[in-house]
Amino acid sequence: MEAYKLWVRKNRELVRSLESLANGLTWILPERFANSEIAPEAVYALLGIVSSVNQHIIDTPTDSQALTSKEQSIPWSLVVSVLKDIEAVVEVAAQHFVGDDRKWSFLAVTEAVKAVVRLAAFRESGYKMLLQGGEVTHEEEINVLEESFGAKSNGVPLIYPMDGHFQNGHGVASNGLDGKAGFVSKSLEGRAVAALNKFGQNAKMMSDPMWMKRPLPPPDPPVMVVEKPTLASIWSSKGVSGRLFFLGEVVHIFRPLVYVLLIRKFGIKSWTPWLVSLTVEITSLGIHSRATDLHQRGGKVHQLSSAERDELKRRKVMWALYVMRDPFFAKYTKRHLQKAEKVLNPVPLIGFLTGKLTELVEGAQTRYTYTSGS
C-alpha cells in the first residue's frame, strides 16, 4: 500500500489523466441509463471511489511535523465521497429489484447516513463550513499558519525557543513572539527583545570554545496545537452570529434528506418536494447572509473566509439543478430540449451531437443521484 501511495504522489498528473479518460468512457457504455443495467453504474462508481482514494492520498501530507491540528482519526471527506459514489449503485439496484416507487426508502437511508457523516465532519472541523458537501477538507487555517511561520514576518527574523516548541501553545516572551498566537510581535518592544535575543545568541557563540562550534542540526518546526471550538464555546462566545452560522450549516446538511423523504411521501411528480427543497436552500443561504451582516455591523462574531465565500457562491450555482428536477424538467426543460433537437437535427454533425447530448441529459435526469445536488 505504501508503494502505491508513493507512486500516486509521484505521478499525480498521469493518475488524474487516466481517471478523466476512464470516467469519460463510462458515459458511452451501452445501456448506460437502462433500468436493468447495474454493471455500468457499478463501474462508474468504482472509478469514482478510486479517484477519491487517489485524491485523498495526494492531499494527505507526508511530513509528520506539518502544522496541523490534531490528526483526524477518520478521513471524513473521503467517507463522504465514497458514499456519494455508492449511492448511485444503491439507486440503480433498488430500482431494479424493488421498483421505482420503493427505491426511495433505500435512498432515504443513504441520505440519512450521509447527513450523519457530514455532521461528524462538521464537528471534526471545529464547526467550519463544509466545502463541497464535506468532500474537501477546510485547510485555510493551515495556510495561515504556514505564512505566519515563514523566515521573516514584518521584517523581523522569527526566533524559536531552544527546544523548538511553544510552551503550552503560547509564545515565549523572550523570543519576541506574541504570547497569544505565537506570531512575531508588531510592537517596537517585541522587535527590540527579538534583536537582543539574537545578539545574545551571537555573543554566546563568540565566547564558546572551538570544539563547541560544531554545526547543530536545524531546529524542528514549532508544533502549533490549535484548539478546535466546541458547540458550547460557539454558542456562548460567538453570539447570535455564530449561532446563525451553525444553524444555517445544519439546515444545508439536512436539505437532501428532507427532499428525498418528501419524494417518498408525495412522489417525484409532485411540486411539494421541489418547492420545499428550494425553500430550505434559500433559508440556509439567508441565515448565512444574516450572520455575515451581523459581523459587518461590528462585534466579535464569525467572519467568512475566502474559501467559505467561494462555497456559498458554489451553492448558488447548484440551484441550476432545479431545472433538471421533476416536475419542472418534465413540464418545461424537456420540452425546450426537444424543440432545440428538432431545429438542429438537419444540420450535419451538430444535429447528431445535439441528439446525443439530449439523450444523455434525459438519461441523467432520471437518476436522483445526479440531480439531487447532495
Q: What does the DSSP assignment read for 255-275?
A: HHHHHHHHHHHH-TT-HHHHH
Q: Reply yes or no on whether the pLDDT at 178 is more than 50.
A: no
Predicted confidence (pLDDT) per residue in 139-170, tens digit: 654 443 334 334 433 433 333 333 344 344 44
| Rounded Cα gap, residues 371 and 40, in angstroms | 18
Q: With contact defined as beta carbons under 8 Å apart, do 111 and 260 qualify?
A: yes
The SS3 call for residue 243 is helix
Higher local confidence (pLDDT), 155 or 72: 72
- DSSP secondary structure code for residue 153 in this structure: E
CA distance 117 to 80: 7
Read off the pLDDT band of 137 (50, 70, 90): confident
pLDDT score of 14 more than 60: yes
Tell me the whole-structure pTM to 2 decimals. 0.69
Looking at residue 141, its pLDDT comes to 45
Q: Is the pLDDT of residue 252 over 90?
A: yes
| Residues above pLDDT 90, as percent of the chain | 26
The pLDDT of residue 142 is 42
What is the residue-averaged pLDDT of the chain?
74
| Grid cell of 192 as nine digits | 527590540
- CB-based contacts of 61, cutoff 8 Å, min separation 6: 68
CA 153/CA 175 separation, integer angstroms: 13
- Cα separation, 182 vs 147, in Å, equals 12
* Distance of alpha carbon 259 from alpha carbon 244, whole angstroms: 22
Please tell me the predicted confidence (pLDDT) of residue 195: 55
- Angle of helix 103-124 relative to helix 239-266, nearest 10 degrees, comes to 170
- What is the amino acid identity at position 144? V
Most confident listed range (49-63, 135-149, 230-244): 49-63
Using one digit for the tens of pLDDT, what is the confidence trace for 103-130? Answer: 999 999 999 999 999 999 998 888 888 9
Per-residue pLDDT at 181: 40
- Nine-digit cell string for 73: 482519526
CA dihedral (318, 323, 327, 330) positive or negative: negative
Range with the poorest average pLDDT among 151-160, 190-199, 208-217, 272-281:
151-160
- The pLDDT of 33-58, averaged and rounded, is 74
Per-residue pLDDT at 206 exceeds 70: no
CB-based contacts of 352, cutoff 8 Å, min separation 6: none
More confident position, 179 or 62: 62
pLDDT computed for residue 8 by the predictor:
75
pLDDT bracket for residue 257 (50, 70, 90): very high
352-370 average pLDDT score: 86
Contact 140, 307 (CB under 8 A): yes
The model's pLDDT over 298-336, given as tens digits with 9 standing for 90+, comes to 555 456 788 888 999 999 999 999 999 999 999 999 999
Do the beta carbons of residue 369 and residue 324 sit within 8 Å?
no
